[in-house]
Chain A
Amino acid sequence: MGPFILKRIGQTLITLLLLTILIFTLARLTGDPTPLVMPSEATDADRTFFREQYGLDRPLHEQYLVFLRNILSGDFGVSFRYREPAMNLVLAAIGPTLQLAGLSMLLAIIIGVPLGIAAALRQGSWFAAIVRGYAGLGQAMPSFWVGLMLIMLLSITLPIFPSSGYGGVANFVLPCVTLAFFASASVTLLTWANMTEAMRSDFVQMERVLGIPNRLIVLKHALRNASLPIVTYLGLQFGLLLGGAVVTERVFAWPGVGQLVVEAILNRDFPVVQASVLLTAVLFMTVNLCVDLLYAVLDPRVSA
């Protein structure tokens, strides 16, 4: 187990180093931020000063080395746009994003896993047909549309939940449901398929012959066997939600990382882009590492 963990951590660090090169280069490919940051009244001297101040006048490799040295000392630079430390902006955004992603995933698991199991146990029934319909809709409907429909229904027509904004518990409902709708559909289908396979396996048949109670077979043996792909998917989906819930964040004015990074890219705010992507990547890799470790727990052959 020890060497396995060390190997995975080593791989994670190398990936991060490569990522710093990639994100640094890609950010600069978007062009010079000066016209976006400086007002039209600024003189050429002001514009030159801006470039010098942020080292944008230096050769790219020099800029990269400075960037690398700074991030190793915890300095991710200052946002061109807001003049705040970039990492402060990202840390302020990561909280709302983690909350949204975490609750959405929880909701997706709460809905998706029982539905998938139930559908697998009642193949061909009307219940399975409803579950299939639910999963199909969840995967087919774009999240911005779901979000807007929820606002129309549950904020405008029936004023139950706030239409947007970040703050109280009620603010979480619509964005969480929007995100969980898609994720739960995937979890349902994945659970359904894997549980079906597990329930048909030889060991389950054997357990039935041995007279082990059905509940125990399903929840302890079949579900454990079916859980590996589900855990993998949840890990990936959580990582995607960390950086990719842009549409949902925008529709619900959720001040998360997804929107922050998109705004930063559009405004060529390099320090914020770099800090956001790196932090998100670290979180994503940490989640993946945890998933790998969980794999090892669920299936000891993985770490063997």
Chain B
Amino acid sequence: MTLATDNGSHQAFLGHQPIGRRAVAGGLIATALASGLGGAKTAAAQGKPPLVVAAGTDIITLDPCRIAGGNDYLFFANVFEGLYSHDENGRLAPAVAESHTVSPDGLKYEFVLRSNARFHNGDRVTAEDVRFSWQRAIAPETRNPRASVLVANIADVEVLGERRCRVLLKARDASFMENLGEYWYIISKRHAESAGEAAFERQPIGTGPFAFVERRIRSHIKLRSFDEHWGRVPQVGEVTIKIIPDDQSRLAQVQTGESDLVINIPPVLAAPLQRMPDLKVIRAPSFQNIYVAINALGGNPILAKSEVRRALNMAIDKNILLRTVMLGFGTAQDLPCSPGLLGCDVSVQPYGFQPDKAREILSKAGFEFNKPLRMVGQGSGRVPQARETLQGVATFLNRIGIKTEITMLDYGAWIAVYGGKEKDPAVDLIFANFTDYNSDPSGRLLRSMRTGASYSWYSNPEVDALLAKMNDFSSPEERASFLHRLFAKLHEEAPLIPLWSTDSIYAASRTIKWKPTPNVSWPVLWNVEKAG
């Protein structure tokens, strides 16, 4: 069992032992064995300063084919890589592959792998590994719940040489390159075949800047710097990610020096933190959008009218809400996307805060002001200030004479209503959030705008036709222009009330120098620098 020493700052506490020394819970602790993984490389990593990160929510899986949600990228974005991924500025960049070419019909992608791309066990990455990664990702026994996004559309991966492979698509997919970094991780064929199905439950081996050391569920994850990485060699050695669910306690971690970096700081705690001399608040734009979905499916027929939905948008002063509820930690949006998302830079006439005009439009449309709008909120604290946000929206609606009834649900009940196959006709407005994993908008749009999609409370055959065509482009320019048209149409249709995109907020000690990757909601740690 490879257990490196704990953060030096911990030693200040009397008798405090590193967590890992006591972690012996059989099947619950996954540990990378020293053979082929530890040894000299661990020693090299120990020459660098350790990094301790406090996170609020534990990851669910170590298997790249079983990712269940955005939080899991806390691990995968640091340990695994795709052929392409995103650089520290959030732009698409080569990762395990060094270059690629696309056929004119957009159906064939040829990749050249980096000669110095290696797995954490020291093996070189070969085209056979790429092919195996795809085969495992689509194998029925893997039950990859996200296969439909990318890998299921691959007809074959041809091995053209040790470092060259060709990916053949079943249908053109303009989102293919953007999704490579989050939906198709490259795994070691040799490791997976020798370790069996348990390979990724116990000893995940990727190609990322950090190698897995150990995990104890609900307690911590340990990683170490992978110094043979092809280019993103971390400046810190061992990384311990502690799971501290309570916001205040997580924050105390950085105040006491027990942790160097704390993630997921809620805005209400971040604001006073900015005045503390020994700490700094680091913020970065994210692709998490907060909005209120409008049930346009006929439960309340008046909401099926686009002018009514636009009027509801005009009734809300999202800038005031952003300042008062989120304390400014976000960017107000008029479109159902974040700036930085492909196509979201389209120029549209903002709805603006026009309460009088909103009331006038609603009156003309025959809106029944005495009939309350039934609103459903998310009450459990997964999204910062969710409750206050919906209450703020209701207040603005009340101001123009609309009555509202709010029901707050815990996350489980909320997601059952929001993502239910049949949308509840008794719900008129529902608080919602959506986070994109990369700059491509197709995941968001297909899941929240298409008729019958899990998060869609809206149906329009015209929009459905646009969505069906959205990925059928081989020219990026043509697609960008198409996406502009699509977003402009959605702005006109107003199927929801976009509020803002949130900032990812981190608290760090002054010894940390770090620029978080923009537009992701998880920390990518390879570029963290720590003094001393």
Contact = CB atoms under 8 A, between A and B. Distances in A.
Asked if A and B are interacting partners, one says yes
A161 interface: yes
Interface stretch (A31-39, A69-77, A108-116): A31-39
A148 B218 contact: no
Contacts of A32: 416
A170 B217 contact: no
Interface in B172-200: none
B102 interface: no
B16 A170 contact: yes
B18 A167 contact: yes
Contacts of A159: 12-13, 256-257
Contacts of B410: 266
Interface stretch (A2-10, A82-90, A182-190, A223-231): A82-90
B243 interface: yes
Given A151-B252, A169-B14, A260-B218, 20 more contacts: A35-B420, A83-B61, A84-B217, A88-B26, A92-B26, A92-B216, A148-B248, A151-B249, A152-B252, A156-B252, A159-B13, A163-B255, A164-B244, A164-B246, A164-B249, A164-B252, A166-B19, A169-B17, A251-B246, A266-B380
A30 interface: yes
A49 B141 CA distance: 11
A38 B145 CA distance: 7
A156 B255 contact: yes
B217 A92 contact: yes
A238 interface: no
Given A159-B12, A171-B16, A251-B249, A41 B22 contact: no
A21 interface: no
Contacts of A168: 13, 15-18
Interface of B: 10, 12-19, 21-22, 25-28, 60-61, 66-69, 143, 145-146, 148-149, 201, 216-219, 242-246, 248-250, 252-253, 255-258, 380, 410-413, 415-416, 419-421, 443, 447, 454-455
20 contacts: A31-B416, A35-B416, A36-B412, A39-B146, A40-B419, A41-B443, A49-B143, A82-B60, A84-B28, A88-B27, A92-B28, A151-B249, A152-B252, A164-B252, A167-B18, A168-B16, A169-B17, A250-B246, A250-B249, A253-B242
B72 to A, nearest CB: 9
* Smallest CB-CB A-B distances: 6 pairs: A168-B17, A92-B25, A42-B145, A163-B252, A41-B146, A168-B16
A155 B259 CA distance: 13
A33 B21 CA distance: 35
A43 B421 CA distance: 11
Contacts of A151: 248-249, 252
Contacts of A162: 10, 13, 16, 256, 258
Interface in A73-110: 81-85, 88-89, 91-93, 95
A250 B250 CA distance: 10
Interface residues of A, number: 56
Interface in A207-259: 250-253, 255, 259
B145 A39 contact: yes
A41 B255 CA distance: 38
A46 B67 CA distance: 13
Contacts of B19: 165-167
B89 to A, nearest CB: 26
Residue among A161, A253, A266 facing the most chain B CB atoms (10 A cut-off): A253
Contact of A39 (B69, B201, B257, B416): B69
B252 A89 contact: no
B426 to A, nearest CB: 16
Contacts of B243: 253, 255
B242 A165 contact: yes
Contacts of B10: 162
Contact of B16 (A43, A92, A167): A167
Contacts of B146: 39, 41-42
A89 B455 CA distance: 32
A156 B255 CA distance: 6
Contact of B218 (A30, A44, A259): A259
Nearest to A44: B421
Contacts of A93: 218
Contacts of A85: 27
Nearest to A162: B13
A116 B160 CA distance: 82
Given A164-B253, A267-B412, A170 B14 contact: yes
Contacts of A267: 412
A170 B145 contact: no
A181 B380 CA distance: 29
Given A42-B146, A151-B252, A255 B15 contact: no
Contacts of B25: 88, 91-92, 95
Contacts of B149: 41
Given A41-B148, A167-B22, A46 B143 contact: yes
Contacts of A89: 28, 217
A255 B218 contact: yes
A46 B145 CA distance: 6
Interface string A191-221: 0000000000000000000000000000000
B55 to A, nearest CB: 11
A30 B61 CA distance: 24
A192 B412 CA distance: 46
Contact of B454 (A40, A83, A148, A164): A40
A36 B60 CA distance: 12
Contact of B15 (A35, A49, A169, A259): A169
Given A43-B148, A88-B28, A252-B249, A35 B419 contact: yes
Interface in A140-176: 148, 151-152, 155-156, 159-171
A225 B146 CA distance: 66
B68 to A, nearest CB: 5
Interface string A256-276: 000110010011100000000
A31 B412 contact: yes
Contacts of B61: 82-83
Contacts of B380: 266
A235 to B, nearest CB: 28
B528 to A, nearest CB: 21
A260 to B, nearest CB: 7
A181 B257 CA distance: 27
A102 B243 CA distance: 24
Nearest to A256: B218
Contacts of B217: 82, 84, 89, 92
Residue among B66, B244, B380 facing the most chain A CB atoms (10 A cut-off): B244
A253 B249 contact: yes
A267 B18 CA distance: 30
Contacts of A160: 13-14
A35 B249 contact: no
Interface in A39-64: 39-44, 46, 49
Residue among A33, A44, A84, A260 facing the most chain B CB atoms (10 A cut-off): A84
A169 B10 CA distance: 13
Contacts of B27: 84-85, 88
Contacts of B258: 162-165
Contact of A37 (B15, B68, B216, B255): B68
Nearest to B248: A148
